[in-house]
Amino acid sequence: MAYSVVNLVAGLVGVLFLANGYYLVQRGREAMALFVASLAVGAGLLFVAAFPNVFEVIATVLGLELKARAILVISNLTLFVLVIYLLNRIGRLYDRVSRLNEQVSLLEAELRDRSDE
């Protein structure tokens, strides 16, 4: 197996994903789903960094001619999953902000009514 700078970078990015996921969960700032996503991406990157020829096997299984196409397919699928997760998360946060804005407006109206009395 031939290792290159790309393998080193993939390994470092994988470790950063794992560390970031652990940090977010430890600080209590994010949900476990984000930790699982970080764990999956980080572990996948570490696996690819350790075994760079795995994409040749994936290319064969998918019926692709080139290893580069297998890398492209897997990376696109991974990005699609992450984007869908983030869009759902953004939607939930938007709903939460809307509810908070309504509650603040109601509280402000109640304060105005009390100060008018």
pLDDT of residue 68: 79
Write the Ramachandran bin of 63: left for phi over 0, alpha for psi from -120 to 50, otherwise beta: left
pTM for the predicted model, two decimal places: 0.64
pLDDT of residue 17: 84
pLDDT of residue 2: 65
Rounded Cα–Cα distance for residues 57 and 68 (Å):
12
pLDDT of residue 95: 94
pLDDT of residue 29: 61
